[in-house]
Structure 1
Amino acid sequence: MAVTDEAIEKIKAMIVSGELGPGDRLPPEKELAERLGLSRSSMREAVKALEVIRVLDVRRGDGTYVTSLEPHLLLEAISFVVDMHDDDSLLELFAVRRMLESQATGLAAGYATEAEAQALLDEIEAVDPEVVTIDDLVAHDIHFHHEVVRLAGNDYLASLIDGLSSQTIRARVWRGLTEQGAVERTLSEHRAIAEAVAQHDAALATSLATAHVAGIERWLRQAVKP
C-alpha cells in the first residue's frame, strides 16, 4: 500500500471507529502524523484527497475538520464525475438509474405509509395534462421520483439516485418536446407506480419502475442513432 493510501486508511479508521465524528477538528498535522507513525508530507496528501471527496474540510488559519458526512455531501464527487460524461454515456447512466431506482421503488412500497402514498397520488392529480408545460412536467417528474426514492428509507441510496437523475434532465426535456403523448404516458406510468406503492406491492412497484425508466432508455437509444 502506498504511503498516502495508508494515511487515508488510518484517518478513515479514526472516523469509522468514532474517534473522530462529524464536525470534529483533527489534531494538528505534526501531532497527528507522529501519532499515526506517518510523515507529514503523506499526511498532507491524505488530507487533500479526503478534502476533495468532502470527508474533510480544511479551513485556512483555523484547522481541518470532519465534515457533516451527510450523504449528499459525500456523493458530490460522484456527481462531478457524472457531469464529465458525454451524451454517448447517457444510456449507461439511465441503465444504472434503472437498476437502482427500481429496487428503491420496491422498498418504498414496503415502507410507505398511507399518507405518504396518497401524497404521491395527489402530486400526479395536481398536474393538468391539458395545460402543463414541458418545464412543469419535468419539475413534476423530478419531484415524483425524488419522493418515491426518499420513501425507501436509505439516504445514501436516495442521494446517489438523485445525483444520477439530475444528469438525465436534458433527455427528459428532449423527449417531452419531441415524442407525441409523452405527457399522458409519463403521468399514467407515475400513477401506476404510485398505486403499486399505495398497495404495498413491492414486486409490482419494482417492475413498473423498471419499465418506466427503460422506456426513456429505449426512446433515447433511437434518438441518438446516427
Structure 2
Amino acid sequence: MSVPSKKIGVQSVSRSTLAKQVVDRIVQLLVSGQMKAGDKLPPETELMEELDVSRPVIREALSALETLGVITRKTREGTFFNNKIGSHPFSVMLALAIDNLPAIIEARMALELGLVTMAAEKITDEQLAALQETIDAIANSKDNNYGDHDKEFHRIIAISANNPIVEGMIDSLLITHQKIDSLIETRERDLTVSHHQAIYSALEQRNPQAAFQHMYNHLDYVRQKVLKLSSEK
C-alpha cells in the first residue's frame, strides 16, 4: 500500500525561477516543521502545480536534494525526506546555500580544521599509511587527474577523527569538496602533494597545532583560487 503524501502549502515561484529556489522551498518544509524526516513529498505533478514550474525544474531540484542526502527517491513508491535527515543538519544547510560559494568554502574550512586537530590525536598507523598512499597516487597521476585521490585524503582525515557526533558532517564535507573541486579548471599537482605531505607529517608527529596550520594553508590557497576563478566567469 502506498503511503499518502502530505498536502503542502507553499507560495508559488515565478517561471523564471531556477531549481535552486525550488530546493529552498522544499527544504523550508523541513525547517518550518510543516514536514518531518520520513515524510513523503507530493508527486512531481503536484509540485509542478503548487510551485508553478516545469517538470525539468522540479527534477533538477529533486536531483540536487538527493545528491545532498536530503531526500530518497524510491521506484514506484515516491520521494521521501530521509529518515536520518535530523541527524544530518549540515545537509539541509548545504541545500539552502548550495549556490553561495564563499559560504560553502568557509563551511568546509570550519569542518576540516576541527577534524584535522582531532585526527592528530587519534589517527592510527593504518590510516596514516592509507593517507600516504593517496599522496603517492596524486604524485604519480597522469594528466593531473587526481580528484578522487584528493577527496580520499580528506575523507580519511575526517574518519580518523573518530567522533560519532560529527560523523553526520562527513558526507556534507565531501559534498563541499566535490562542489569546490568541480570548479577548479587547472590543477597544480606538485603543490597539492606538498600541501598534503605537510599535513601528513603533522599528523604523523601527532601535532594538532601544526596539523591545523598546514590544513589552513592548504584550504586557504584553494579558497583564494576558487573565488578568483569564480569572479572571472
The alignment's TM-score, normalised by the length of structure 1, stands at: 0.60
User: Closer, same or farther in 2 for the Cα pair 1:46/1:167, shift >3 Å?
Assistant: closer
Aligned to 1:157: 166
Q: CA RMSD in A?
A: 2.9
Work out whether residues 109 and 196 of structure 1, in 8 Å CA contact, stay in contact via their aligned partners in 2: yes
Identity level (%): 20
**Compared CA separation, residues 113 and 130, structure 1 to 2 (3 A):** closer
Q: Is the aligned partner of 1:221 residue 2:208? A: no
Give the drift of 1:139.
Answer: 0.6
Pair 1:103–1:84, CA change in 2 (3 A) = closer
Contact 1:82 1:164 in 2 (8 A): no
Partner of 2:61: none
Map 1:18-37 onto structure 2 (within 5 A).
Answer: none
Please point out which of 18, 32, 38 is paired with 1:51.
Answer: 38
Residue 130 to residue 93, structure 1, CA distance change in 2 (3 Å): closer
For the residues of structure 2 that align with 1:208 and 1:50, how far apart are their CA atoms? 38
Q: Within the alignment, does 1:82 sit opposite 2:69 as a pair?
A: no
Q: Write the distance in 2 (CA, Å) between the matches of 1:142 and 1:200.
A: 22
CA contact (8 A) 1:146 1:158 kept: no
CA distance in 1, matches of 2:168, 2:192: 23
Identify which of 189, 212, 217 aligns with 1:211. 217
Runs of at least 5 residues in structure 2 that lack an aligned partner in the other structure: 1-31, 40-68, 71-82
Residue matched to 2:116: 105
Deviates more, 1:122-131 or 1:110-119: 122-131
Counterparts of 1:113 and 1:86, CA distance in 2: 34
Q: In structure 1, list runs of 5 or more residues that go unmatched.
A: 1-44, 55-66
* Partner residue, 1:178: 186
CA distance in 1, matches of 2:86, 2:190: 35
The one-character-per-residue Cα deviations of 1:185-216 (angstroms, maximum 9, x if unpaired) are 11221111111111101110011111111111
Separation (CA, whole Å) in 1 of partners of 2:179 and 2:140:
20
2:109 is paired with a residue of what secondary structure?
A: helix
Choose between structure 1 and 2 for higher RCO, CA contacts under 8 A separated by at least 6 residues. 1
Distance 1:196 1:132 in 2: 29
1:147 paired to 2:156: yes
- SS of equivalent residue, structure 1 residue 174: coil
Q: Tell me if the contact between 2:37 and 2:86 (Cα under 8 Å) persists in the aligned partners.
A: no
Q: Of residues 193, 197, 201 in structure 2, which corresponds to 1:195?
A: 201
Cα distance, 1:178 vs. partner? Answer: 2.6
Structure whose alpha-carbon radius of gyration is higher: 1
- Decide whether aligned partners of structure 1 residues 178 and 127 sit closer, same or farther in structure 2, where only a CA change above 3 A counts: closer
> TM-score, normalising length from structure 2?
0.59
Higher helix share: 1
How far apart are residue 123 of structure 1 and its match? 2.2
d(CA) in 1 for partners of 2:144, 2:126: 28
SS at match of 2:127: helix
Mapped pair 1:123 → 2:134: yes
Q: Is the 8 A contact 2:111 2:173 kept in 1?
A: no
What is the identity, as a one-letter code, of the residue corresponding to 1:217? R
Structure 2 counterpart of 1:213, one-letter code: L
Per-residue deviation, 1:130:
5.3
Q: How many residues align?
A: 160
- The alignment partner of 1:127 has SS state of helix
**Alignment-derived partner of residue 15 in structure 2:** none
